[in-house]
Amino acid sequence: MLVRTCGQDAGRELDGCLFETRTYGVAALEAVAAGLAQDRTAVRTALTTSWSNAQAGGQISRRKILKRTMYGPTSFGMLRRRVLLAA
């Protein structure tokens, strides 16, 4: 939303974008802008870097699915083998 509101330079012009968003007069947008302003460094980093944690998130999701499918009458040993085989 912030990138759409302030354009592709939102990371470099974060303070101006947050001020502009607060002037819209919409309480929900003002609250979001205030929250983003509290952690400017993290927001600026997220907008300007190309890093992604999608690979780690995918691995974690896969482990959770394996764990959930093994709930029930299975033992820890079976869960361990299943996880090791999936890796």
Query: Could you report the average pLDDT of every consecutive run of 10 residues in the chain (87 residues)?
Result: 57 78 84 87 81 81 78 71 76
Separation of alpha carbons 38 and 24, rounded Å: 19
Residue 33 · residue 26 · CB < 8 Å: no
The reply to whether the predicted model has a pTM over 0.75 is no
Q: What is the pLDDT of residue 61?
A: 87
